[in-house]
Structure 1
Amino acid sequence: MPEKSETPETPETSETSEKEQPRRRQARGERRIAQLLEAAAAVFTTTGYTAASTNAIAREAGVSPGTLYQFFPNKEAIAIELADRLMHELREMYGEALAPVDPTTPLEEAVGAAVDRFIAFNCEHPVFFTLMHGPDVPGRMAEEHDALHATLLSRIEGLLSSFLPAADPTDLARTAHMCLGLYKAGLELVLAHEGAERDAYVQELKNALIRYLDPLVGEGLGHPDAPRTTA
């Protein structure tokens, strides 16, 4: 019985194969990076940034330290890459969460929707709080955080202006600072608890923000013709 001959590889097939190999290598590299970042998030959240080590991250990822060093030169580079990705995701999220609303929107609804979005992000990525609010944030991350903080304040002012159109800009900025400060203080308590107790702290955070803002907005919130007070 004659042997079955193999189909000869055409130049086009060979060229396609050569192009696919770098793509496959790149895909494997991206998966490895994602694996290392996920492991780093777990280690940073558990031990904090200072106590974490590249050996611990490699162990959490199930790879050798040598494999880790193929992608990141040190712990700081891992933290910066992780923080950059999370800040990009956060910026996309708060663009929607803090968008100006119809002034007839009830205060409870506006505050609740914004808080829920931010709490969901931080509960899904607890490492973000660890990296951004720890005492040992690397320099570049601190600069990025300051820029993020300024943008957040601007977005909060925009949301508040929906309810306080006549507010003095200085007063509006102060109110935005207070809202962000209250949120950060409440977030730390939220992240320290789980389950029903976490839900209770989320509600307490919403209540604190609503009770702070309600006298500034006025009792007639939700009615466009109602009188308003400035912040």
Structure 2
Amino acid sequence: MPEEPRRQARGQRRMEQLTDAAAVVFAEAGYAKATTNAIAKQAGVSPGTLYQFFANKEALAEALADRYRAELKAAHEKAFDLNMAKLPLPELVDRMIRPMVEVNLANPGFKALFSSGDLPDRLTAPTRALQQAVTGRVAEVIAARIPDLPAEQRDTAAAVATQIFAALLGTIVTAPPADRERWITELNRALVGYLSPLESA
């Protein structure tokens, strides 16, 4: 492998290492109280090494936001694939909720950081827009599954289903790994129980 691509790969790994460390420190201390020294310590590097890749903590938060948005978009594409709309309802619900659970498990510091209110709005706004789009994506799946359902009823159902998911997501993410599947099963049951009467409405 030529030296230049090898150096680029090392640099990319270092940036990911620093971004991972920033996620931990931001989640523990909050954005306002986090310092680049604490992030460098968490990453196991010197502050000078951190500054070779990121000018300040806002640049780290921006990298973290960019990474999360990319992962969230990919999760949306898997979760809200309209080709799945006619699957048996429990299977459809399972295939919708798992990518969304996985992206939150993979980014444990993100929710604490981006809901804290102390991060610059220009960093949080695009992510909020993606999160708010979930209800619309759920409504699209319901429309594909139950095309005769009135639009107002469909949109209400999508909003309620999204709230049910959000209400249990925190429990799932913070549960010990051994208990997580049990909570995912309960979330599936709650959503199927709520959505199934719509199919015979």
Which range, TM-score by smaller chain? 0.7 to 0.9
**Partner residue in 1 for 2:24:** 42
Counterpart CA distance in 2 for 1:92 and 1:166 is 29
Q: Do structure 1's residue 210 and structure 2's residue 192 form an aligned pair?
A: yes
* Alignment TM-score, normalising by the size of structure 2: 0.87
- Per-residue Cα deviation, 1:149-193 (whole angstroms, up to 9, x for no partner): 243232211111122211222332222222222211211111222
- Corresponding letter in the other structure for 1:89: E
Cα 1:93–1:104 change in 2 (3 A) is: closer
- Per-residue Cα deviation, 1:85-117 (whole angstroms, up to 9, x for no partner): 121122122212211145542211111111122
Q: How many residues of Structure 1 are paired with residues of Structure 2 in the alignment?
A: 200
* Alignment TM-score, normalising by the size of structure 1: 0.77
Counterpart CA distance in 2 for 1:102 and 1:34 is 34
Alpha-carbon offset, residue 146 of structure 1: 2.7
- Corresponding letter in the other structure for 1:106: P
Contact 1:43 1:56 in 2 (8 A): yes
Counterpart CA distance in 2 for 1:23 and 1:96 is 32
Contact 2:79 2:95 in 1 (8 A): yes
Alpha-carbon offset, residue 41 of structure 1: 2.1
Counterpart CA distance in 2 for 1:137 and 1:188 is 21
Contact 2:65 2:127 in 1 (8 A): no
Structure 1 residues not aligned, in runs of 5+: 1-19, 219-228
Q: Do structure 1's residue 127 and structure 2's residue 113 form an aligned pair?
A: no
Contact 1:157 1:173 in 2 (8 A): yes
- Corresponding letter in the other structure for 1:131: L
- Corresponding letter in the other structure for 2:120: P
- Corresponding letter in the other structure for 1:133: S
Counterpart CA distance in 1 for 2:18 and 2:26 is 12
- Per-residue Cα deviation, 1:46-83 (whole angstroms, up to 9, x for no partner): 33434322111100111111221222222222112111
Q: Secondary structure at the match of 1:136?
A: coil
**Partner residue in 2 for 1:5:** none
Pick aligned residue for 1:90 from 54, 72, 79:
72
Counterpart CA distance in 1 for 2:123 and 2:48 is 25
Structure 2 residues not aligned, in runs of 5+: none
Rg larger in structure: 1
Counterpart CA distance in 1 for 2:151 and 2:128 is 21
Alpha-carbon offset, residue 148 of structure 1: 0.5
Q: Do structure 1's residue 139 and structure 2's residue 121 form an aligned pair?
A: yes
**Partner residue in 1 for 2:61:** 79
Q: Which stretch shifts more, 111-120 or 144-153? A: 144-153
Contact 1:190 1:201 in 2 (8 A): yes
Cα 1:102–1:86 change in 2 (3 A) is: closer
Counterpart CA distance in 2 for 1:75 and 1:59 is 14
What is the root-mean-square deviation of aligned Cα atoms in Å? 2.2
Q: Do structure 1's residue 68 and structure 2's residue 50 form an aligned pair?
A: yes
Counterpart CA distance in 2 for 1:174 and 1:50 is 37
Pick aligned residue for 2:159 from 177, 184, 192:
177
- Corresponding letter in the other structure for 1:134: S
**Partner residue in 2 for 1:53:** 35
Alpha-carbon offset, residue 127 of structure 1: 2.2
Tell me which protein shows more helix as a share of its residues.
2
- Corresponding letter in the other structure for 1:46: E
Contact 1:123 1:191 in 2 (8 A): yes
Contact 1:80 1:140 in 2 (8 A): no
